[in-house]
Amino acid sequence: MTLRARREDVDHNRRKLTVTGKRNKRRTIALDPFEGYDMLRALPAYVGSPLLFWHSAGESYKNFASQFAAIIARTAKWAADNGADFQPFRFHDLRHWHAVHWLKSGRDIYELQHRLGHSSVKVTQGHLRAGYLTFEEQQAAMVGTKTGTSDR
């Protein structure tokens, strides 16, 4: 989804990125959490290419998930050959990582539901039961669910 993002999709004043996801659903994502705006702002531009994420001569990534898997496989082999600790992961796991860290930081689960594009907060709550959070972190996230409030 974001690999097709163009530089013009970033609203620098509001620090938001508008992306088109599944079923051509448009979503605007706040970039302030976890220094996302600073990361996107620091990406180098390729002259003549409007893409945020590019390779070679400003070209878009094709089949990025499989390319990412190949990079992870090469990294895992290098780590094994060099005695380094490395836990392979899928590109989609980065989405789960973001969700877990969002909740661990005390942010609102309803905001997370919107960020992830879930149809209901129940889908988002699945991350709480997936073993990613401690019992205490699950309880804190559930309090946010009951009140529907956020102090951030």
- Residues sharing a CB contact under 8 Å with residue 21, sequence separation 6 or more, in sequence order: 1, 27, 117
| pLDDT > 60? residue 152 | no
pLDDT value of position 39: 92
* Separation CA 17–CA 29 (nearest Å): 5
Mean pLDDT over each residue of the chain, to the nearest integer: 84
55-59, 60-64, 115-119, 143-147: which is most confident: 55-59
Amino acid letter, 143: V
Using a pLDDT cut of 90, give the percent of the chain over it: 35
pLDDT value of position 127: 67
Q: Which two tokens stand for residue 63?
A: 């089949």
Mean pLDDT across 61-81: 92
Reported pTM:
0.68
Q: List the chain domain ranges.
A: 1-62, 93-147
pLDDT value of position 9: 94
The H or E element that residue 141 is part of is: helix 135-147
Are 76 and 83 in contact by the 8 Å Cβ rule? The answer is no
Whole-Å CA distances, 130 to 99, 135, 142: 12, 11, 14
Interval 22-69: pLDDT, tens: 778 888 888 988 888 999 999 999 999 999 988 889 998 888 888 889
